[in-house]
């Protein structure tokens, strides 16, 4: 049985990206029910899920959301994550009603510049011990 069958929602994120790390930490803080689980794109679980859903690691610019057996990417993934969070981030979800061709260029611009603006690590980020169970690898 695949890893995605065990969880309702899995976020695949770039484990060396500082912006992505901060985004994951924000999700962890605003997801008190533990709805989301995580795997880095660089890890074995992340690579297996990309393959399972017909996505390629080299094509991924930031993160992927796998929710209820379906993979979402780019702005759609980001907004679907916001929908399930507490606090003001939840208010971003209504932007899902804008067509993706309007949303995705903004997402792509941020994704293309994330290393330059926020930096990157040489190794994947490791979660705090209390969050470790939410990570697949």
**Structural contact between residues 24 and 136, judged by C-beta atoms closer than 8 angstroms:** no
Task: Give the pLDDT of residue 1.
Answer: 37
pLDDT digits (tens, 9 = 90+) for 57-110: 555 666 799 999 999 999 999 999 999 999 999 999 999 999 999 999 999 999
Annotated domain spans of the chain: 7-120
| Number of separate helices (H) and strands (E) present in the chain | 4, 4
From CA 43, how far away is CA 77, in angstroms rounded? 20
pLDDT digits (tens, 9 = 90+) for 47-58: 899 999 998 755
Query: Of 130, 25, 24, 113, whose CA–CA distance to 77 is shortest?
Result: 24
- pTM of the shown model: 0.88
Task: Give the pLDDT of residue 93.
Answer: 96
Topology of domain 7-120, CATH: Glutaredoxin (3.40.30)
CB atoms within 10 A of CB 60: 18
């Amino acid at each position: 049985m695949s890893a995605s069958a065990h969880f309702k929602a899995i976020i695949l994120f770039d484990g060396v990206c500082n912006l992505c790390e901060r985004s994951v930490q924000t999700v962890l803080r605003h997801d008190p029910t533990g709805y989301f689980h995580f795997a880095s794109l660089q890890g074995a679980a992340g690579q297996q899920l990309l393959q399972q859903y017909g996505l390629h690691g080299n094509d991924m610019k930031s993160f992927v959301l796998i929710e209820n057996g379906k993979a979402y990417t780019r702005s759609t993934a980001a907004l679907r994550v916001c929908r399930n969070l507490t606090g003001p981030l939840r208010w971003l979800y209504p932007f899902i009603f804008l067509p993706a061709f309007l949303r995705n260029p903004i997402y792509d611009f941020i994704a293309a510049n994330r290393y330059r603006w926020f930096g990157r690590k040489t190794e994947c980020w490791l979660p705090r011990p209390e969050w470790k169970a939410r990570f697949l690898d």
